[in-house]
A and B are shown apart, each in its own frame.
Chain A
């Protein structure tokens, strides 16, 4: 089963985790065969939010979150069950600075 591990971090804490550390974490996941995909994200200020209402598209900057933590990156992992996914999420370096949300991937209905 696939689990998306969403990395949340306060912007000023981004620098506490070195890129090469995240690189090494991704490499280790790849070597053990559990990594489906992983990317770091640009700061939330670079984001645009798209909506379609009544067939009309609107674009605004944002997202505007109440919390200071923002989505900083993700790892898409293939795990046996939630326990294994949690064990792997604990190895993601920003876990010690921010938090990792572990979300099961839902299969779309055929």
Chain B
């Protein structure tokens, strides 16, 4: 048996490297997620039996795809035979597979993109898009996804089953969107990726280890999309994720408390991720059609480029927020811009802008708005106003670390 162990290892390696590509192609060939998954597992099982005897094929992926396809057709034939015992009138019509289609290298390369766009189809419920993408594109198990999202596994499994049923019943096509549909559909895909990232990044509870892996998964997914579809916003999002991830170890204290950007130990920032993120930002910005992800990444890159908080180029950051506010005129962006203005022009200028946002009736229940207002009041020596805003923010905070942070700030105010 010892002789077969290296082969077992090879099969395992091939599974790690190729199973998602094999699945993506089998879904196209067989037209059904469940059938494709079963066929893929059959194919790997066949590899375990045959490769030790016949040797590892020169193109393992092609071997696995055709083995999976063969197994699936075989299964369908057998099912038909059982059917025809009950209904002798029916002819045994086995799904015909287009031989040319699966041999076409370009189609095969597009299969992973088809899979991404199908899993992130806007007709599927958003939480199901996330679950399906992690399951089918990233190959996580249902249990792993459930743990990371703090959701019971049966709930998650049901979400995935329903999504697959919808793909089948509503006939959601397995295709890359047409150029006319692409911007909107790519937005939906990037939204799923960023959601996965943030779920892992804003770790708030005990399961922070699995959540960290979720951010890693989102970055891997971001890389895949950039590789397959190097659109400026896909590149921008990957850059943004890398630049945020670079600060992971610096943004929480050993006791799990939140540390603001200004107070972080910058020697803990991951230099490789910053370098890669900054290169990607430049690439996205020079492509034109600059979107919100690329601009946010550019802002993160400016922060990353400052050796200490005091050296931050706030004028540059305010300029980028101006561009961002034009692309996405939301109150949250306006709030972030106000904070940047306060760093460039002093707390009074920022406070005027934040009060204008709140006076319009926007962000009344948005914790960061009140926390930012409190900080600026504190810096202006308006202790009573600062206390009122910190208390408002505290009332809106849910997560442990955020709560503790605000309580600390309130205590530091003293009695003024």
Contact = CB atoms under 8 A, between A and B. Distances in A.
Contacts of A73: none
12 contacts: A1-B171, A82-B123, A82-B170, A82-B171, A82-B172, A82-B173, A83-B173, A83-B177, A83-B181, A87-B181, A104-B169, A104-B171
A80 B121 CA distance: 16
A80 B173 CA distance: 9
A81 B173 contact: yes
B356 to A, nearest CB: 32
Interface string A41-80: 0000000000000000000000000000000000000001
B336 interface: no
Contacts of B181: 83, 87
Contacts of A82: 121, 123, 170-173
B273 interface: no
A86 B177 CA distance: 12
Contacts of B175: 83
A57 B211 CA distance: 56
Nearest to A81: B173
Interface of B: 121, 123, 169-173, 175, 177, 181
Nearest to B177: A83
A82 B170 CA distance: 6
A1 B168 CA distance: 12
Nearest to B175: A83
Nearest to A106: B169
A48 to B, nearest CB: 31
Nearest to B122: A86
Contacts of B172: 81-83
A47 to B, nearest CB: 27
A28 B169 CA distance: 27
A1 B248 CA distance: 49
A80 B172 CA distance: 10
A81 B121 CA distance: 13
A83 B180 CA distance: 12
A15 B171 CA distance: 34
- Residue in A80, A81, A82, A104 with the greatest tally of chain B CB atoms within 10 Å: A82
Nearest to A104: B170
Contacts of A87: 181
A104 B121 CA distance: 16
A41 B211 CA distance: 51
Given A82-B171, A86-B123, A104-B170, 7 more contacts: A1-B171, A81-B172, A82-B170, A82-B172, A87-B181, A104-B171, A106-B169
B51 to A, nearest CB: 38
Nearest to B169: A104
A106 B121 CA distance: 21
A1 B123 CA distance: 17
Contacts of A106: 169
A2 B169 CA distance: 12
Contacts of B177: 83
